[in-house]
Structure 1
Amino acid sequence: MASTVIAVLEVTLSWLFANAKGRDAKSFFTRPALANFPEQSITVTSPDCGASGSKLQVDYTQDGTGRFPALQWSAPIEVAAQVKEWLLVSEDPDAPLPTPIIHGIYTAIPASKTSVNTDDFTVVDQAKALMRGGFHYGRSRNGLPYIPPRPLMNHGPHRYFFIVVAINEELDSELLKAETTREQVAEAIEGKVLGWGMWVGVAERKWE
């Protein structure tokens, strides 16, 4: 009974906010720090989920095990030679809110690391916001290290952006903590960006 009530509520909200989607203009890649890079220069792929724009299978959503998509990326030689760290941001621009929902933000990814898999996102030191992959997590919308996709039922397909940013300077250690926000990171990388790229996964939930 409770699940039916929740489903009805979600479907009602989806109807009310049917046109509240597509907040691409407020996505992370539109921040001032990336203003000099209107085009993607880093190629991001997902070996287990397919081409950008592929449907995310249930295991990659909150209805399944919530796996993080495996990602691989590569940058032009001249960019790769200058990278000191990578930054990874996951967000949903199709949520019925004024700005995209932040599903995860990951800082201090080593320059030598050009791929991640779901095991990398296991927390090994909560006090340091440190993950098994050797990087740190910042603040998602609900404070968890990663929020698997769970679009509103009957709200149509939601896109999930996985944005990789190359930076030429290590972030201040004060930012390597769970409370660090998207806005703080975006401000901290101004003048340090070398390029960016994105992989997109798509998820949809329907009331059968």
Structure 2
Amino acid sequence: MTAYLEITLSWLFKNFRGRDDKAFTTNPAFASHPEPTLQVTSPDCGADGATLSKGYIAGGKVLIPELKWETVEGVKEWLVVNEDFDAPLPKPICHGIYVGVPAEKLSLGNEDFQPAAGASSTQLKGGFSYGMTRNGKLYTPPRPLINHGFHRYFWFVVGLNEPLDPEFVASKPSREAVAAKIDGRVVAWGRWMGQCERKWE
């Protein structure tokens, strides 16, 4: 997409943003846990709401923010989802969805998101698998439309009271399929948000 086309689209869709009401955590699975109770931090990117540096944005090193959280009683497995709330579309764009994260794992770094050697196509070094993103890749780095303003990228960490079926985990499930599968399994969840923008220069 050329820069001129992006700028035109940004102008046309300048008010199409803020899909907070369609967030992953607004699905029925979270009816009993409507608010976050788990604190999620990012040691390398900073406080919640931090501006992402170039290394974390498309065209840079494509780093993934490090995430850390604390243990929660009753959690048997974790689920991690990354969404762009401000893309000019009817619902947030899924930039990453990671299933089967071991219960004992309380942090994720770039190495965890690397493909596991000799493993199936969705298995990662961190001991979990990735699901279906908008472009089908393991992770889609932030790339807001030029001059569309800041986009917020939310990372959700969700604790489940029982592990997901291994076959389901390996099936590269979609955001919608995962949301349906975790109904009745959510114990707690938290979020961390980083933001960025791209300007015409």
> Shared fold (TM-score greater than 0.5)?
yes
Give the Å deviation of 1:147: 0.4
1:132 to 101, 125, 131: 125
Structure 1 residue ranges (4+ consecutive) displaced by more than 4 angstroms after TM superposition: none
Take 1:60 and 1:193, find their aligned partners in 2: how far apart are those partners?
Answer: 29
Structure-2 residue corresponding to 1:117: 109
Take 2:122 and 2:171, find their aligned partners in 1: how far apart are those partners?
Answer: 5
Structure-1 residue corresponding to 2:168: 175
Flag the structure with higher helix content. Answer: 1
What are the superposed Cα offsets for residues 1-60 of structure 1, whole Å, 9 maximum, x if unpaired? Answer: xxxx71100000000000000001001010100111121110000000000000000000
Structure-1 residue corresponding to 2:19: 23
Give the Å deviation of 1:178: 5.3
Structure-2 residue corresponding to 1:35: 31
Structure-1 residue corresponding to 2:158: 165
**Percentage identity across aligned positions?**
52
Equivalences, count: 200
For 2:107, the aligned partner's letter is S
What are the superposed Cα offsets for residues 74-120 of structure 1, whole Å, 9 maximum, x if unpaired? Answer: 25xxxx22110000000101000001000000011111000000111
Structure-1 residue corresponding to 2:45: 49
Take 2:126 and 2:120, find their aligned partners in 1: how far apart are those partners?
Answer: 16
Contact 1:44/1:73 (<8 A) preserved: yes
2:79 to 75, 87, 98: 87
Give the Å deviation of 1:176: 1.3
Q: CA RMSD in A?
A: 1.2
Distance 1:178 1:143, change over 3 A: farther
Note the residue ranges of structure 1 that are not aligned, 5 or more in a row. none
Give the Å deviation of 1:129: 0.9
Q: Is 2:88 aligned against 1:105? A: no
Note the residue ranges of structure 2 that are not aligned, 5 or more in a row. none
Take 2:75 and 2:40, find their aligned partners in 1: how far apart are those partners?
Answer: 16
Give the Å deviation of 1:128: 4.7
